[in-house]
A and B are shown apart, each in its own frame.
Chain A
Amino acid sequence: MSAANHATKRLVALHGWSATLLAILLYVVMLTGTIVVLDNELTDWSAGHTDRAPLFGPRTDQIVTRFAAQVPPEMHDHVFLSQGSNGTLSLFFGTDQPHPDGGTAQFGRGFLVNPQTGVLQSARAGFFSDVVSHRPERAFSHFLVDLHVQLHVPGRWGLYMTGILGVTMLVAAITGVLIHKHIIRDLFTTERPGARLVSFRDRHTLAGVWSLPFAVLLSFTGAFLSFAISLGLPVVALVAFGGDQDLAIATVLGEPTTTNATVAAMADLTTLFADATLRAGAPIGTTEIHDYGTAGAVVTTFHGIADGALIPTTLDYNGATGEFLDRRQIVGTEPSAGSVLASLMAPLHFGNFAGWWSRIIWVGLGAAMTYTIVTGMQLWLRRRENEPAWQHGARALSVVAWGLPLVIVITGHASLVALLTGDPEAVVPRVFIAGCLAVLAYGAFTLKQPLDSLNRMLGLATGIGLLLLPVTRLQTGGLSWGEALMWRGDSVLVIDVTCLALGLICLLAVRRKRAAQPAAAPAE
């Protein structure tokens, strides 16, 4: 064998092992990543209403002024305005205090107010993360986002893990390019029949080659997003700032500093927000006010991505005069190539830069990548089916590949029911863990049954679960399709139709597999 052949053989081994070692975690991250491209839509779908009125309307200034007068002045350090539960405006007034988990965090008071009438709906006191993040309708989507971002592993360790998974995927993609000598031809591969080894290879090649550019893009941007704050910032701070992470953060993020703490009246926020919306070309998502009620107050408005733009806009205003200050850079205070590069990472990873179209493409290509991981594992196990160490590999793969979507669907049902009966944020993780244990137990108890029977049962359960999700949503107070059509509830319609389509695909796949079995048997 020539040296080049040896090198190709080693690359094939690296390609296989890099994905196999972390296959389960990679599959979890890829599948949840594909779903959470639509996380805002999932939240709207769970909420059971549509927000027809804008969050920042003509009464915003009056509302903020009224509630600012009701909290102690020291809580004016940070004011945060965002969307709350059930179409309310969430106001948080806070100041930095020691957090029980270490470090400091904002502690203060939060209010949920009807943005049109100004009527108070609820009030809470506590740390920012507990008060502002408390949105029951986000329980399901937030759980999936957290699973995707850090696998529910606390602190930096979760980010390290997903960062390593990103690099693993990047290595698999690079080696995939190097070992495929006929990439263009492979784009048009058709699967050879008979469920033979070559059939598995054709399936993996087809899915892998089509999703290759996307695999490089997603794994690269994902690894950057995981490592940037958890590893990159501390390392850069160590060398460029002598270990001073606060100075590094101030330089990198360009935090505003108070220049004048003299008590002063605030500018009219309603006018300021109208100007910001016009200037950014997109509605305001959230707003932050530093040092409210002082001459040095700075109002920062965070906008979505405007039509035709690739990155979101953030604007700074003088809070006392209402004067426009600057467009906030994601890194530093002046426009730079580095800032543009860093700000491109999130939209390219989330696919949220061109409305529905980009997100649908991202979901489709994410699904193709997830399928590539499953077919890659099938190919890997098929090549080793006679090795004792991999005897139960195919069964384990079936349990994970079918089990995870099934458990996510069950968790979706539970989150909808919990919106009526209790606290979904507590229910969702418990149901997910219980579901995982139940699927693992089912896989263990059916060890003596044929693998096809396990696949059929799990596929059937996932299909039925998906078909029933819109029914559960309707029965737990969700919008009907008529209401959704009338009130611009696009998210409800899209998620419902997706659930029904995927449910039918699962049932048809199970049926097709069953029908193909007698025919495939003689060929084996």
Chain B
Amino acid sequence: MQALGTLPRRGQHWITTRIDRQPTRWRWILAGPVAFILSILAMAGLPTVLPAGAGGVNHLVLPVVLFPLLWSSFIVWPVASTALPRVATTYLGLGALLLTLITLSFLT
């Protein structure tokens, strides 16, 4: 159990070490392909968790409306941030969460 508890900390340490070695390259990767993939995943995953509303379409419209805004924000944050490992960890967690939501929607 104790070994399992140290896994996230060890993972974060691994990410920090890698990013600190080549911060510019990682900034490009996070603001470029990662930002794009994450915004597509958000558009695909959000309909599964957002409320449909009275008209039954809010959960379909909102992710499409938010897509340009999310993509832009995902580009700007790694560039503006001074704590790149934190950005990378957040993106990784968000990506994993969205992928889980999408997979669950296919399974159900």
B interface, CB within 8 angstroms of A: 27, 31, 40, 43-45, 47-48, 53-65, 67-69, 71-73, 75-76, 79-82, 102, 105-106
* CA gap between A233 and B60 in the complex, in Å: 9
Q: Which of B54, B65, B72, B75 meets A336, CB within 8 Å? A: B54
Q: Mark A160-192, 1 if CB is under 8 A from B, else 0.
A: 000100110011001100100000000000000
Q: Which residues of B contact A240 (CB under 8 A)?
A: 47-48, 59-60, 105
Q: Is the CB of A334 within 8 A of B48?
A: no
Q: Is the CB of A334 within 8 A of B54?
A: yes
Q: Which residues of A contact B40 (CB under 8 A)?
A: 235
Nearest 4 A/B pairs, CB to CB: A336-B55, A338-B61, A232-B64, A223-B68
The size class of the interface chain A forms with chain B is 35 or more
Residue A52 is within 8 A (CB to CB) of chain B in the complex: no
Q: Is the CB of A232 within 8 A of B55?
A: no
The chain A residue sitting closest to B58, CB to CB, is A338
Q: Which residues of B contact A166 (CB under 8 A)?
A: 68
Number of A-B contacts (CB under 8 A): 128
Q: Is the CB of B102 within 8 A of A14?
A: no
Residue A227 is within 8 A (CB to CB) of chain B in the complex: yes
Q: Is the CB of A235 within 8 A of B55?
A: no
The chain A residue sitting closest to B61, CB to CB, is A338
Chain A nearest Cβ from B101, distance in angstroms: 9
Q: Is the CB of B79 within 8 A of A11?
A: yes
**With contact pairs A170-B69, A224-B68 given, residues A334 and B55 touching in the complex (Cβ less than 8 Å):** yes
Residue A7 is within 8 A (CB to CB) of chain B in the complex: yes
Interface residues of A in 328-382 (CB under 8 A from B): 329, 331-339, 341-342, 345
Q: Is the CB of B82 within 8 A of A235?
A: no
Chain A nearest Cβ from B78, distance in angstroms: 9
A interface, CB within 8 angstroms of B: 3-4, 6-7, 10-11, 14, 163, 166-167, 170-171, 174-175, 178, 219-220, 223-224, 227-228, 231-233, 235-236, 238-240, 242, 248, 251-252, 329, 331-339, 341-342, 345
Query: In the complex, which of the residues A3, A333, A334, A336 has the most CB atoms of chain B within 10 Å of its own CB atom?
Result: A336
* CA gap between A233 and B61 in the complex, in Å: 9
Chain A nearest Cβ from B103, distance in angstroms: 10
Q: Which residues of B contact A223 (CB under 8 A)?
A: 67-68
The chain A residue sitting closest to B48, CB to CB, is A239
Chain A nearest Cβ from B14, distance in angstroms: 23
Q: Which residues of B contact A178 (CB under 8 A)?
A: 76, 80
The chain B residue sitting closest to A222, CB to CB, is B68
* CA gap between A345 and B65 in the complex, in Å: 9
* CA gap between A341 and B61 in the complex, in Å: 8
* CA gap between A178 and B80 in the complex, in Å: 9
Q: Is the CB of A333 within 8 A of B65?
A: no
**With contact pairs A14-B76, A240-B47, A334-B56 given, residues A339 and B61 touching in the complex (Cβ less than 8 Å):** yes
Q: Is the CB of B67 within 8 A of A224?
A: yes
Q: What 12 new A-B contacts, CB under 8 Å, besides A6-B82, A336-B57?
A: A7-B79, A11-B76, A163-B68, A171-B72, A174-B72, A231-B67, A239-B45, A334-B56, A335-B55, A336-B61, A338-B62, A341-B65
Q: Which residues of B contact A10 (CB under 8 A)?
A: 27, 79-80
Q: Which of A171, A248, A333 meets B75, CB within 8 Å? A: A171
**With contact pairs A227-B64, A232-B64 given, residues A251 and B57 touching in the complex (Cβ less than 8 Å):** yes
